[in-house]
């Protein structure tokens, strides 16, 4: 039996916040979509990074940024990604190694989806689920 791929478990067609869009817009998009993170995309439509709800509060508002400041100002460099045709095991390893709970999914250079720890946990056999959740829950 072939390994499950990330493409099979991801949420397709994620919404991006533009690098020049405001932090206010990023917050509104997160609230409207009921998500805790958004990819940051450039004018070329390519992935530039990620912004989380925690970034908005801790690195944004608490650090003196204004809601009118660009979302790209919170970008911390290249986003950790996973390939659409990578195995779910590879996604889990990446999440554990990079200590992230959400991964943008790319196909070549195109952003095609998002995968979360919940998506991965549902796709893994039960013993692996506990390992993933335990490792990612430590703060």
Which sequence spans correspond to the domains of the chain?
Answer: 6-137
d(CA 25, CA 19): 11
pLDDT over 90 (residue 94): yes
- Burial class, 129, CB count within 10 angstroms (exposed 0-12 / middle 13-18 / buried 19+): middle
pLDDT (tens digit per residue) in 104-122? 999 988 999 999 888 887 7
State the Cα–Cα distance between residues 99 and 105, nearest whole angstrom.
16
- Cα 88 to the center of its chain, rounded Å: 15
Q: How far apart are CA 67 and CA 87, in angstroms?
A: 38
According to the model, what pLDDT value does residue 78 have? Answer: 81
pLDDT digits (tens, 9 = 90+) for 5-34: 999 999 999 999 999 999 999 999 999 999
Task: Report the mean per-residue pLDDT for the chain.
Answer: 87
Q: At what angle do helices 88-98 and 126-137 cross, to 10 degrees?
A: 20
Measured at the alpha carbon of residue 58, what is the angle toward residues 60 and 109, in degrees to the nearest 5?
Answer: 65
> In the beta sheet, which residues pair with residue 115?
103
Q: How confident is the model at residue 75 (pLDDT cuts 50, 70, 90)?
A: confident
In this structure, what are the phi and psi dihedrals at residue 32, rounded to the nearest 5 degrees?
-65, -35
Q: Is residue 44 pLDDT above 60, yes or no? A: yes
Torsion of CA 9, 33, 25, 16, to 10 degrees: 20
Spatial separation of the C-alpha atoms in residues 33 and 38, rounded to whole Å: 10
Report whether pLDDT(63) > 50. Answer: yes
pLDDT at 130: 58
The fourth-level CATH superfamily of domain 6-137 is CBS-domain (3.10.580.10)
């Amino acid at each position: 039996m072939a390994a499950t791929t990330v493409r099979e478990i991801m949420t397709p067609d994620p919404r991006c916040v533009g690098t020049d869009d405001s932090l206010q817009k990023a917050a509104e998009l997160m609230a409207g979509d009921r998500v805790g993170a958004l990819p940051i995309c450039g004018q070329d439509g390519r992935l530039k990074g990620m912004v989380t709800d925690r970034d908005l509060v801790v690195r944004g508002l608490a650090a003196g940024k204004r809601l009118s400041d660009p979302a790209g100002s919170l970008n911390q460099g290249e986003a950790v990604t996973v390939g659409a045709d990578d195995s779910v095991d590879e996604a889990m390893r990446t999440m554990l190694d990079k200590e992230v709970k959400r991964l943008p999914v790319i196909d070549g250079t195109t952003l095609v989806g998002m995968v979360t720890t919940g998506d991965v946990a549902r796709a893994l056999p039960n013993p692996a689920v506990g390992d993933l959740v335990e490792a990612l829950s430590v703060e």
